[in-house]
A and B are shown apart, each in its own frame.
Chain A
Amino acid sequence: MEFFQHLSSGIVLGCIYTLFSLGLTLIYGILGLVNFAHGELYMLGAFLALFAVATIGMNYFFGMIFAVVMMAIIGIVIERLCFRPLRGMHDTSVIVSTIGLSVLLQNLAIYVFGADPQRLTTDLTEVMVRFFGLAFSLQRILIVVVTVMLILLLNYFSKNTKTGKAMRACSQDLTAAKVVGININRITLITCMVGSALAAIGGGLVAPLYLVSPVMGIKVVVKAFAVVIIGGLGNVPGAILGGFLVGISESIAAGMISSHMRDGVAFGILILVLLFKPEGIFTKRIQEKV
C-alpha cells in the first residue's frame, strides 16, 4: 500500500516535471536554444497566480487563467527582445544570455514580490479524497487531470491544426520550413507563448502544494534539464515520458529507500542515459552529417 501511495505522489510530481519540460523541449526543438530562464517562467507563473488570488481576490480558477494569460504575453515579449536577436548565434552566447535573463527575472521577482516564501491557500488542498485506502488532496487530482488534458490538447494541436503542423516542420528543419513558406517569426513567437504558458500552468498548479519563492524555479530547472535530456532534446513525447519516469522514480526512491536519494535519482538516470544513449531514450540515433 505504501508503494502505491509513493507511486501516486510520483505521478503528481511527474505531471509537474512534464508541464515544465514540455515548454523547455518545445523551445529547444524550434528555436534551437536551451532556455536557462525557463525556471523563472514557472516561478513567475506561480507568483502571478498567488498575486491574483491573494491580492486581487480572484478565485483560484480565474487566478490561474490570469497567470497563464500574463505569462503568455511575457513569453512573447521575451521572444521578441531576447530570443530573436540570439537566433543563429553560438551556444555560448545563447546560454550566457538566457542565464542573464534568468538572473534578471529572478531579481525582478524578489523586488516585486519579496524574497520570503509565501503560501497560496485554496479550498482544494484541504479536501481529501480516499479510495482503495489511498488519500489524495483534490489539488493533486486536479494536477493530474489538467496535465493529461493539456497533453491531449497539445497532441491535437500539433497534429490537426495548420500552426501545429508548421511548428513540427520548423522543429525538423528551420530552413526547409522557411523555403516552403512558413512564417518562422510567427512560429517561434507562438512556441514561446505556449512554452511560457505551460510553465505558468505548472507553477500555478504547484503553488498551493509547495511554498512560492523566487528561487523555486532554479530547483526545478536543473531537474527539468535532466528530464529533457533523458527524453531527448526537442522530443515532445520523450519529455512527457521522461517527466513521469523521473517523477515516479524520484518519489519511490525517496519514500522507500531514503529521502536523501531524492535529488540524486534524476542525475543518476541522467548519467546512465548520457553514458549509454546520449541522444535520449526515446530518440532514434541519427548519424551526424559532415
Chain B
Amino acid sequence: MKTRSKLIYPVLLIAAVAVPFFVESDYVMHTLIMSAIYALLTMGLNIITGFAGQLSLGHAAFFGVGAYASALLTLKMGMNFFLAMSCAAGMAWVMGVMLGFPALKLRGPYLVICTIGFVQIMHEVFLNWISLTRGPMGIVGIDYPPTLTLGSWTIDFSIPLNYYFLVLVFAVITFVIILSLLNSKLGRALKAIREDEIAAECAGINLTYYKLIAFSLGAVFAGIAGSLYAHYIGYISPDSFVLLESINILVMLVLGGMGTMIGPVIGAAGVTFLLEYLRFLAEFKLIFYGLVLMVVMVVAPGGFWGFITRLGFAPPGSKDR
C-alpha cells in the first residue's frame, strides 16, 4: 500500500508536465497557473497545519508580504526578478518567525484567532503605508520575469506556457524539499508535536525550535508563491491578501487532505478549477461552495486524499482516525 502510494508522485509529475500541451484556451491555462501557485501556498500551509498541527489562518499575510516585497524591489530598486524573489522569501521568513513567537504559547481556537489578527494587521499595513504600497490603489505595472537565455534557448516568461513551467519548477522543488524533510528528524518531530505537544516535549523535542521552523518554512514557500503571483498578474492590491484568501488556502488543504503529500496539490488544483467551473451556478456558486465545506468536514474529515487512501492522517481526535 505504501509503495503504491509513492508511485503516484511520478504519475502526478508527468500529468502536471503534460496537461498544458493539451490546453488550448488561455483561460484554462490561466487557471492552471493559478492552481500551481496555490499548490505552493497550500504545501507551505501543510507544513504548519498538516504536519506540525498548528491551525493557522495567517497564510495570506505571508503571501502578501512576498508579493509586495518582490514587486517593490523590482519596480523601485530595479532588482532582478530572481534576486527579488529570494529577498521576498527572506522577508516572509522573518514574518513567519514573528507570527511564530506569539503563537508558541497558544493552542486551538486561541491560535486561530491570533493568526486572524495577524492577517488583519498586515492588511492594514498594506492599506495604510501609502508612501510605500500606494494603499488601496495597489501597485501596477509589475513586469514578467526577464527573458532567460540558456545557450541558444530563450525563455520568454510572458508566454503563459513558459510561466506555467516556471511555477511548476518551484512547486516541484518545494514538493521534494518537503518530502525529504518529512522523512528526516524534523518531520518526525513535527508529527510528534501534532499528535501530542506535551508528550513530544517530554520526549525531549524542543517545541519552540520546531514550531518556529514550521512557521518560517511555511512562510518562505508562501513568500515565493507571492512573488510568482505578483509577477504573473502584474497588479497587486491589499484586497488580494485578506482573511478570505487564508480561508481559501486552508480549504484547499483540508479538502485535499491535511498531513499528506499529495493532498495539498490535489486540493489546490481541485478547488481552483471547481471555483472556476462553478461559474455557471452564478449566485449559487458560493452557496454551493459553503455547503461542500460543511458536508465534507462531516463525512470525510481526512479530506479527499485521506478519504481515498485511508493512509492519510485524519486530524487527531476526529472520527476518521
Q: Contacting B290 at CB < 8 Å: which of A34, A90, A100?
A: A100
Quick one: which of A107-157 are within 8 Å of B by CB?
Answer: 107-108, 110-111
Query: Please, which residue of chain B has its CB at the minimum distance from the CB of A99?
Result: B247
Q: Which A212-232 residues sit within 8 Å CB-CB of chain B?
A: 222, 225-226, 229
> B117–A226 contact, CB under 8 A?
yes
Given contacts A104-B291, A107-B290, contact A90 B301 (CB under 8 A): yes
**What is the count of residue pairs linking A and B with beta-carbon distances less than 8 angstroms?**
124
Chain B residues whose CB sits within 8 angstroms of the CB of A64 once the complex forms: none
Check B297–A97 contact: CB distance below 8 A.
yes
Partner of A96, one of B128, B243, B251, B285: B251
Q: Inside 8 A of A90's CB, which chain B residues have their CB?
A: 301, 314-318
Please pick, from B124, B294, B317, B318, the residue contacting A82 in the complex, using a CB distance under 8 A.
B294
CB pair A100 B109 closer than 8 Å? no
Cα A107 to Cα B258 in complex, Å, equals 27
A102 and B108 alpha carbons, distance in the complex (Å): 19
Q: Which of A104, A278, A288 interacts with B287 by CB under 8 Å?
A: A104
- Residue numbers in A under 8 Å from B315 (CB-CB): 89-93
Contact across chains for A100 and B283 when beta carbons are under 8 A apart: no
**Chain-B contact segment, one of A7-15, A176-184, A187-195, A263-271:** A263-271
Residues of A within 8 A of B108 (CB): 91
Once bound together, how far apart are the Cα atoms of A275 and B101, in whole Å?
10
Residues of A within 8 A of B290 (CB): 100-107
Are A97 and B294 closer than 8 Å at their CB atoms? yes
Chain B residues near A101: list those with CB within 8 A: 290, 294
Is B212's beta carbon under 8 Å from chain A? Answer: no
Query: Using a CB-CB cutoff of 8 Å, which residues 100-138 of chain B contact chain A?
Result: 102, 105-106, 108-110, 112-114, 116-117, 120-121, 124, 128
Q: How far is the CB of A82 from chain B (nearest CB, A)?
A: 6
> What 1/0 mask marks residues of chain A from 63 to 102 whose CB sits below 8 Å from any chain B CB?
0000000000000000000100110111111111101111
State how many angstroms separate the Cβ of A154 from the closest Cβ of chain B. Answer: 22
Contacts of B49 in A (CB 8 A): 92
Q: Chain B contacts of A263 at CB under 8 A?
A: 120, 124
A111 pairs with B117, CB closer than 8 A: no
Q: What total of chain A residues lie within 8 Å of the partner, measured CB to CB?
A: 43
Complex: A88 Cα to B298 Cα, angstroms? 11
From known contacts A85-B298, A90-B316, A267-B120, infer whether A95 and B112 are also in contact, taking CB-CB under 8 Å: yes
Across the interface, which residues of B come within 8 angstroms of A260, CB to CB? 128
B250 at interface by CB-CB < 8 Å: yes
Determine which of B106, B116, B285 lies in contact with A278 in the assembled complex, contact meaning CB atoms within 8 Å.
Answer: B106
| Cα–Cα, bound, A278→B110 (Å) | 8
Q: Which residues of A sit under 8 angstroms from B105, Cβ to Cβ? A: 274, 278
A170 to B55, CA, bound (A): 26
Provide the bound-state CA to CA distance between A38 and B251, in Å.
Answer: 19
CB pair A95–B55 under 8 Å, yes or no, is yes
Q: Is the CB of B297 within 8 A of A229?
A: no
Pairwise interchain contact B113-A107, C-beta atoms closer than 8 A: no
Q: Which residues in A have their C-beta under 8 angstroms from that of B301? A: 89-90, 92-93
Which A residues touch B286, using CB under 8 A? 103-104, 106-107
Using CB atoms, name the residue of chain B closest to A223: B120
* A97–B293 touching, CB < 8 Å: yes
Contact A229 B110 (CB under 8 A): yes
Which B-chain residue is minimally distant from A86 (CB atoms)?
B298
**Cα–Cα, bound, A107→B318 (Å):** 29
Among A34, A85, A99, A102, chain B packs the most CB atoms within 10 A around the CB of A99
Q: Which of B128, B247, B297 has the most CB of A within 10 A?
A: B297
Interface residues of B in 295-321 (CB under 8 A from A): 297-298, 301, 314-319
Q: Which B residues lie within 8 Å of A103 (CB)?
A: 286-287, 289-290, 293
Interface contact B294-A89, CB-CB below 8 Å: no
B169 to chain A, nearest CB (A): 31
Closest-CB distance, A281 to chain B (whole angstroms): 14
Q: Which residues of A contact B285 (CB under 8 A)?
A: 107
Is B82 on the interface with A (CB-CB < 8 A)? no
B179 interface hit (Cβ, 8 Å): no
Q: B298's closest neighbor in chain A, by CB?
A: A85
Q: Are A100 and B117 in contact, CB atoms less than 8 angstroms apart?
A: no
Closest B residue to A85 by beta carbon equals B298
**18-65 of chain B: CB within 8 A of chain A:** 49, 55
Contacts of B173 in A (CB 8 A): none
The CA of A85 and the CA of B284, in the complex, are separated in Å by 24
Q: Nearest CB to that of B316 among chain A residues?
A: A90
Cβ of A290 under 8 Å from chain B: yes
Residues of A within 8 A of B128 (CB): 260
Q: In chain B, residues 66-117, which have Cβ atoms closer than 8 Å to a Cβ of chain A?
A: 102, 105-106, 108-110, 112-114, 116-117
Q: Which 5 residue pairs are nearest across A and B when measured between Cβ atoms? A: A100-B293, A104-B290, A103-B290, A90-B315, A97-B297
Chain A to chain B contacts (Cβ below 8 Å), 14 pairs: A89-B301, A90-B316, A92-B254, A93-B254, A95-B55, A96-B254, A100-B294, A103-B286, A104-B286, A104-B287, A105-B290, A111-B284, A229-B110, A274-B106
Sample of 17 further A-B pairs with CB below 8 A, known A96-B297, A100-B293: A28-B109, A85-B298, A89-B318, A91-B109, A92-B301, A93-B297, A93-B315, A96-B293, A99-B293, A100-B289, A100-B294, A106-B286, A111-B283, A222-B117, A233-B110, A267-B120, A274-B114
